[in-house]
């Protein structure tokens, strides 16, 4: 991403108003202030105001990230040793899926983040998956082939020693409320103006653009460009500008979550755990001071009370004293993420349920895309159109990857899982991926053909499909040779590499 001025023809400051101070609002404020600061922007300074209701509060979940969050903090120049302790954060190298595919004989598998070291093992993994697709019995356990799978299994911190020649990818678990507070303080240091206020109405220009935000306290906040970060209610883009919301309810059934913290785990894992339950799945996110838990489910198949009871049983805690909170989720995306002089970010722009913890990733990549698009050509309609196409596509491709988790399940304990397995609302892109896989075609070539590598790449798709055991029955004749996992001595290679990584524990970096 380049840091330069968004428009270069006006000496007056561009006034950007961000409505909402959840994680999305503060991430946007920090990135915009960093990339469009006065230092970077000799011709036209940017003046950012963030207004937030002190009463409404934030959604307060969203505690797992993808590796892109590392780039966010690098961009801001904030070391892990500063932000991680402030947010009770831990490292995340992988997501472990338990009980999603018992019918295939696989009870657990990992989806590790892909590290540079895996260039040695991705090909053997592909070949073994292909061999297994032919009915031959070879190792296709994703966590064996990918280095982060080893880090997760042996609970090693991904902090890479200075002399280790490969880059290791990882994300984080964190307390989202503390992250918001941390980003708020940092934004103040970057010169972002903060206002507490309840937006009561939105004022418009004759051409329909937003002119200002009226607060219940009697203030009017005027601006040139507005960013809607007001959460699921989307006060600006959806409520005021009437941009329609395109629901994904046809292919993603979950619309509720019940959350409940429990004490910290003694031996901190470096992965998120996602366990399939009767009508959805439960996450376990390890922080330094507590464990975040939640059950994501569909209200069409289970009611809130039964879901809360099932979560408590799963966590082995007493429901009467549990700190339970139920949330409603609006799964889908807006028809246009940027309309007129308003951009929506975070829950206002859409939400894909949290199975792969992609929400903040989508916030960050949307802001980065916005900065790049505007840097390239300003705030005009052409830029708007291009941005909307790219962001919509990103939402759809992330949705497809999540949908595949449900489509491929082999559980038979409830109508919910059967309905998911029989779901026929699949995108053309997903149908083609599954078709290539089952026809024993070249999945890597298909992912490349569809240009999906920047969303979930070929190795991630191999992890998912192999992890669910989406293979034909084993052939009657097994030559018993040709397992590249053994031939390439991957176990010896990864065990050797593992010796460079510290035992369990929490060791944030000092510098980036
Ligand atoms: C069950 C669940 C689990 C999730 N897990 C993950 C995860 O693991 N990883 C991940 O990346 N994401 C996750 N998410 C998503 C994540 O929580 C959100 O993307 C993130 O918190 C950003 O939320 P937000 O800032 O858009 O909205 P909110 O946090 O809802 O913030 C909205 C803001 O708007 C303000 N506001 C609203 N109305 C007004 C008004 N009238 N006047 C003034 N201010 C107003 C509020 O005060 C608040 O500051 C999860 C979400 C859910 C529902």
pLDDT tens-digit readout, 410-464: 999 999 999 999 999 999 999 999 999 999 999 999 999 999 988 899 999 999 9
**Distance from residue 256's CA to the centre of ligand 1 (Å):** 15
Report domain extents, the chain.
14-89+174-247+335-398, 115-167+427-498
pLDDT tens-digit readout, 352-411: 999 999 999 999 999 999 999 999 889 999 999 999 999 999 999 999 999 999 999 999
* CA pair distance 111, 44, nearest whole angstrom: 45
Averaged pLDDT for residues 79-89: 96
Contacts of 177 (CB under 8 A, 6+ apart): 58, 60
Q: What is the pLDDT of residue 79?
A: 96
Q: Is the pLDDT of residue 30 over 70?
A: yes
User: The sheet that has 332-334: what strands, in order across it?
Assistant: 245-247, 332-334, 350-351
Pocket of ligand 1 (CB under 6 A): 20-25, 51-53, 56-59, 61-65, 176, 198-199, 229-231, 233, 235, 257, 294, 327, 329, 346-348, 354, 357, 359-360
Q: Is the pLDDT of residue 507 over 60?
A: no
Q: What is the pLDDT of residue 7?
A: 45
- Mutate which of 25, 53, 62, 307 for ligand 1? The one with the most ligand atoms within 8 Å of its CB, which is 62
Averaged pLDDT for residues 85-93: 96
* CA pair distance 502, 512, nearest whole angstrom: 18
Which two structure tokens, joined as six digits, stand for 400?
């497809």
DSSP 163: T
Q: What is the pLDDT of residue 263?
A: 96
CATH of the domain spanning 14-89+174-247+335-398: 3.50.50.60
* CA pair distance 497, 345, nearest whole angstrom: 40
| CB-based contact 287:173 (threshold 8 Å) | yes
Averaged pLDDT for residues 329-343: 97
**Distance from residue 481's CA to the centre of ligand 1 (Å):** 52
Q: Is the pLDDT of residue 162 over 90?
A: no
**Distance from residue 183's CA to the centre of ligand 1 (Å):** 14
Which two structure tokens, joined as six digits, stand for 235?
């006060």
What is the 3-class SS of 251-286, one letter each residue? CCCCCEEEECCEECCCCCCCEEEEEEECCEEEEEEE
Nearest CA to ligand 1 atom 5: 62
Q: What is the pLDDT of residue 40?
A: 62
DSSP letters, 214-237, are EETTS-EEE-SEEEE--GGG-III
Which two structure tokens, joined as six digits, stand for 36?
């469009």
pLDDT tens-digit readout, 338-348: 999 999 999 99
Mean pLDDT of the chain: 93
Question: HSE of 120 in the Cβ direction (CA atoms, 13 Å)?
Answer: 16
DSSP 195: E
pLDDT tens-digit readout, 46-64: 999 999 999 998 998 879 9
């Amino acid at each position: 991403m380049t840091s330069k001025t968004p428009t270069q023809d006006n000496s007056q400051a561009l006034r950007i108003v961000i409505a909402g101070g959840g994680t999305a609002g503060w991430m946007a404020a920090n990135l915009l202030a960093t990339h469009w600061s006065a230092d970077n922007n000799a011709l036209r300074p940017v003046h950012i105001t963030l207004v937030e209701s002190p009463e409404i509060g934030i959604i307060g979940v969203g505690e797992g990230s993808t590796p892109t969050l590392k780039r966010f903090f690098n961009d801001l120049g904030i070391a892990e040793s500063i932000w991680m302790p402030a947010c009770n954060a831990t490292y995340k190298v992988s997501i472990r899926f338990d009980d999603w595919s018992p019918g295939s004989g696989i009870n657990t598998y990992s989806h590790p983040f892909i590290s540079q070291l895996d260039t040695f093992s991705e090909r053997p993994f592909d070949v073994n998956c292909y061999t297994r697709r032919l009915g031959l019995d070879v190792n296709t356990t994703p966590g064996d082939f990918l280095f982060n799978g080893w880090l997760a299994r042996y609970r090693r911190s991904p902090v890479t020693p200075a002399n280790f020649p490969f880059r290791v990818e990882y994300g984080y678990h964190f307390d989202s409320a503390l992250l918001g507070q941390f980003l708020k303080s940092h934004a103040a240091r970057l010169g972002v103006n903060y206002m507490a206020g309840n937006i009561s109405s939105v004022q418009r220009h004759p051409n329909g653009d937003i002119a200002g935000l009226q607060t219940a306290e009697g203030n009017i906040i005027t601006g040139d460009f507005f960013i809607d970060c007001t959460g699921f209610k989307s006060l600006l883009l959806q409520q005021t500008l009437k941009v329609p919301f395109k629901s994904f309810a046809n292919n993603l059934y979950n619309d509720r979550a019940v959350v409940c913290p429990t004490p910290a785990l003694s031996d901190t894992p470096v992965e998120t755990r996602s366990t399939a339950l009767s009508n959805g799945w439960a996450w376990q996110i390890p922080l330094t001071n507590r464990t975040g838990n939640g059950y994501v489910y569909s209200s069409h198949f289970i009611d809130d009370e039964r879901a809360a009871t099932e979560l408590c049983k799963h966590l082995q805690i007493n429901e009467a004293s549990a700190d339970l909170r139920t949330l409603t989720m609006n799964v889908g995306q807006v028809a246009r993420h940027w309309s007129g002089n308003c951009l929506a970010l975070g829950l206002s722009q859409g939400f894909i349920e949290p199975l792969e913890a992609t929400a903040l990733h989508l916030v960050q990549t949307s802001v980065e895309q916005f900065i790049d698009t505007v840097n390239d050509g300003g705030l005009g309609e052409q830029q708007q159109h291009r941005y909307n196409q790219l962001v919509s596509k990103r939402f759809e491709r992330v949705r497809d990857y999540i949908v595949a988790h449900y489509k491929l399940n082999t559980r038979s304990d409830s109508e919910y899982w059967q309905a998911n397995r029989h779901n026929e609302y699949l995108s053309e892109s997903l149908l083609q991926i599954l078709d290539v896989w089952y026809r024993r075609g070249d999945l890597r070539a298909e992912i490349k053909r569809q240009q999906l590598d920047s969303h979930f790449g070929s190795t991630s798709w191999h992890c998912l499909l192999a992890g669910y055991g989406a293979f034909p029955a084993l052939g009657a004749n097994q030559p018993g040779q040709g397992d590249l996992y053994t031939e390439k001595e991957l176990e010896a290679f990864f065990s050797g590499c593992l010796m460079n990584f510290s035992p369990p524990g929490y060791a944030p970096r000092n510098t980036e």
